Structure 1
């Protein structure tokens, strides 16, 4: 399937990554299809309408799980009727992202773009999504797609209400901005928490039967061995008391973090 803005990559017969490689953030959203409904994990930057793609991939009703309320993950939320978020990020969802000016958001959304953007996109008037969620998700919630079970993990640190999603049926772990490669994971601005991020790493590192780790940026799909590297990073950061603001960038085997 070809698209002018999105890159659609098939993970398996009922799972797709919908990626935005034309933007410097290289964001991935994920469509998980079951027997009765589909889940869309995040909706991208909002530079173009992701619903155009999902409508071509499935006729199932789609519900949106928000890994966290940052601009690059909620861009097309307004196109969907059912959208879910964790309580920790609900205020940002309804009232706007705190600590980030609209001027900075517009600067970031409009820079370093390498593909043609649609005529509807104007970075000077770009507005991040705001609205009431359909409902709230909590740690341990289970979403049944009919033949596919998703388990919700509350994994704060990058944001207060950050969520990771484990597709228990296939072993896919979707980590949002908690874990990815190539560029540093951010936990250095006031709304983040280095200690909570390390605690969340510990939480996902012991999930059994992970077959693949899918972060929301950069390389699509990391081998589960990265979770062993995460365990080593946790030990190093804790023993050296580095999980705090101002300690800089810490590089490990396959990923890095900035506090």
Structure 2
């Protein structure tokens, strides 16, 4: 682990790093996965500071950026990298802007409840989320080969139309983006979200075998795979009680909660 002025870097294993932004209320995690031919960076953070400064310290391998979904706190440093992957369902948001979020709202959310000094380059009044064409458009079931490490893409819509989870087949790590994390609710209450899809996606990841650890994009770094049993039960409960619709509020389960 090393502490940067903005980022906290934690080593998950010799070839896997979490790059976290604990000075912001969203407590965002991005993840750098090293192979023997290239590396994958799962998301690029808030864009308050330049995450490439960190990845340059950790590897000289070429980096593919894998976007779990196109929300501001996951695409902040996309513009610093040459190769960007995004699911086809979120491609339009990456190119034309995030649906349903005004720039005023984005700037308000990016600048509140910050507890660490921000770099001089960060100005919330002029902050602009990344927009641009992806290098590659992903679909469900795609594989990304890092040489000695295979990543499999699971399309898990709900939080956004093109949200994905990434399974590191080699180590059993499941990177869940904003589909599953603890402490604060998983959000599916914006008009651009879909509660039914979110519950279907939760159920889908609960059935993936041989998971050794789960890494969500916020809050606690690393959740034990036993939580997937609770996820499966929660999906069934939400469906049976007809709660998978906007306005039903926050639903709390053991280790996580969902807000519709």
Same fold, TM-score > 0.5, yes or no: yes
Q: Secondary structure at the match of 1:165?
A: strand
Find the aligned partners of 1:150 and 1:29 in 2 and give their Cα distance. 16
Partner of 1:6: 7
Partner of 1:21: 22
- Residue 258 of structure 1 deviates from its aligned partner by 0.3
Q: State TM-score, norm by structure 2.
A: 0.99
The runs of 5 or more residues in structure 1 that have no matched partner are none
Q: Secondary structure at the match of 1:182?
A: coil
1:106 aligned to 2:107? Answer: yes
Find the aligned partners of 1:97 and 1:151 in 2 and give their Cα distance. 25
1:11-160 alignment, distance < 5 Å: 11-160=12-161
**Greater than 3 Å deviation, 4+ residue runs:** none
Q: State TM-score, norm by structure 1.
A: 0.99
Q: Deviations over 1:34-73 (max 9, x none)?
A: 0100000000000000000000000100010000000000
What is the number of residues matched between the two proteins? Answer: 259
Q: Secondary structure at the match of 1:32?
A: strand
- Residue 213 of structure 1 deviates from its aligned partner by 0.4
Partner of 1:201: 202
Partner of 1:215: 216
- Residue 125 of structure 1 deviates from its aligned partner by 0.4
Find the aligned partners of 2:147 and 2:85 in 1 and give their Cα distance. 19
Find the aligned partners of 1:89 and 1:249 in 2 and give their Cα distance. 25
Find the aligned partners of 1:232 and 1:67 in 2 and give their Cα distance. 24
Q: Deviations over 1:200-248 (max 9, x none)?
A: 0111111110000000000000000010000110111011010111100
